[in-house]
Amino acid sequence: MNASWDILKIISDPTRLRLLALLLREELSVAELQDLLGMGQSRISSQLALLRQGGLVSDRREGKKAFYSLKVGLSEKQLTLLRAALDAVEELPAMIEDRENLDRILQKRRRTQEQYFNLIAGRLGKNYCPGRSWEAIGHLALHLTPAITIADLGAGEGLVSQLLARRAKQIWCIDNSSRMVEVGTELARKNSLDNLTYKLGDIEQVPLPDKSVDLAILSQALHHAQHPQVAVDEAFRILKPGGQILVLDLAEHAFEKARELYADVWLGFKESTLHGFLKRSGFTKVGVNAVAHEKSEPNFTTLLASGLKSAR
């Protein structure tokens, strides 16, 4: 749909305009949109279908859930019309309430993950965790260079970093669970690892300076990110020219219970998806390979992705 007249007809409906205002800010599931707008599924789904047919939104499925977002690649004219319409109604009570409800939903997402990791802090290495195998970690460790500065993003208790700290120059463990940071800090102190430092922070907003590390690791962390591309972009930002990223994560799977059992946001990733994340961030010499496959159900496969930040 390219005609401006058709776009105006699509966005003339208040419900559709409210949906677009929300999806302009965040990808959301149908269930979340129901909660946000206080409307039934059939009404929400029918309006989303019209927006999708009109070429303004796109959808994807994660197990039984359907997620919607503003369509990538809208023309400047389409975006101008949409923003003008949203600007005209942004101070209406319904729009203000929608923004407040969206903030609540996003905070709920974060709390769910934080509560899970706070609960298992101190037991993470003892309990089963998808993709966390010595075989997979061994493949990751083979890529390491001694005496470098490392950022372990979404580190948890820092299982990987505990292994690397005896060779690295400095390791920063970043995690958004305050309890994980406390447990990891105590482990580092107990093991006399003075070069291992834990910091509370989000992998989508890493509390480290630009160009400050030689290696960035995302070990079984990316599928917990709300916006995986942003997390990879952050890894690129903090890497020095010539630095390397290593991503250890699950291949795409259909084990829906992982959301509840392990606070997973994404059910793994396709090899092509991981490759795309790294390429869009600016990494070169990108490679993605399967490095482990679990024999017991649900038969998780672990992928290792790597890339280099140009020295220029």
Compute the distance between CA of residue 85 and CA of residue 80 in angstroms, rounded to an integer: 9
Q: Backbone dihedral region of 128: left (phi > 0), alpha (psi from -120 to 50 degrees) or beta?
A: beta
Q: Taking residues 230-235, report their average pLDDT.
A: 98
Please report the domains of the chain, with CATH numbers, ordered by start residue. 4-111 (1.10.10.10), 134-308 (3.40.50.150)
Which among 62, 75, 79, 77 has a CA at the least distance from the CA of 24?
79
Between 176 and 145, the higher pLDDT residue: 176
Residue-wise pLDDT for 7-17, tens only, equals 888 888 999 99
Judged against a pLDDT cut of 70, whether residue 142 lies above it is answered with no
- Contact by Cβ (8 Å): 190, 211: no
CA 276 to chain centre: 14
Helices (H) and strands (E) in the chain, counts: 12, 10
Which of the residue ranges 67-71, 138-142, 240-244 would you say has the lowest mean pLDDT? 138-142
Q: Does this model's pTM top 0.95?
A: no
Between 252 and 66, the higher pLDDT residue: 252
Residue-wise pLDDT for 66-94, tens only, equals 899 999 888 888 888 889 999 999 999 99
- Contact by Cβ (8 Å): 191, 127: no
- Contact by Cβ (8 Å): 228, 201: no
pLDDT for 119 equals 73
